[in-house]
Amino acid sequence: MKLFIYRIIIAIALSIIWVSSAHNEYGYNYNFPKIYSLNLFPLLFWPLGLIAMYIVYAYFTRFIKKPNFKKNLLLFITLYWPLLILAEYIGYYFFNVHNLATSMYSGLPICHCMHAPAWMQFMYFAMGPVFLLICYTFKLESKTEKIVDK
């Protein structure tokens, strides 16, 4: 449980750093509350998404034979990128959440979601692997911790 709490702290810290640096790029068609000019929508959903992603990843790590960082990172990316696109697609088309501050940019090909400058799209795709890398760096990976039933 202690490792899980540390992961939550890292996810929150990444969210604060990201939203603080890109706060001018967040202006939605809904009036989400702000704290110190930081939009609460991305500030809350980044850590929730990263932790949910980590739980999914932890479940699938049991299928890796002879795990190492490279294999685990590949698994994480294989899960994270499609789920990120799916979350963005659902938010954009089903919940009608549009980031008006970046709406002038074209979305991703095929799904036409994640309308943002290329550097911002890159950071969205990098956020998950960076989170995993930080967890590995601080040795927050544990084979004995029960995140999900194995």
Burial 20-53 (b: 16+ CB within 10 A, else e): eebbebbeeeeeeeeeeebbebbbeebbebbbeb
Q: Is 7 inside any structural domain?
A: yes
pLDDT digits (tens, 9 = 90+) for 98-140: 999 999 999 999 999 999 999 999 999 999 999 999 999 999 8
Q: Is 142 inside any structural domain?
A: no
18 is in which domain, residue-wise?
2-137
The predicted structure's pLDDT at residue 99? 97
Q: Is 68 inside any structural domain?
A: yes
Q: Total structural domains in the chain? A: 1
pLDDT greater than 80 at residue 147: no
Q: What is the dihedral of CA 86, 27, 17, 92, to 10 degrees?
A: 0
Q: Is 147 inside any structural domain?
A: no
Asked whether the beta carbons of 39 and 19 are under 8 A apart, the reply is yes
pLDDT digits (tens, 9 = 90+) for 63-86: 999 989 999 999 999 999 999 999
Q: Is 26 inside any structural domain?
A: yes
The predicted structure's pLDDT at residue 90? 97
Backbone angles phi, psi at 135, to 5 degrees: -60, -40
Q: Is 146 inside any structural domain?
A: no
Q: Is 18 inside any structural domain?
A: yes
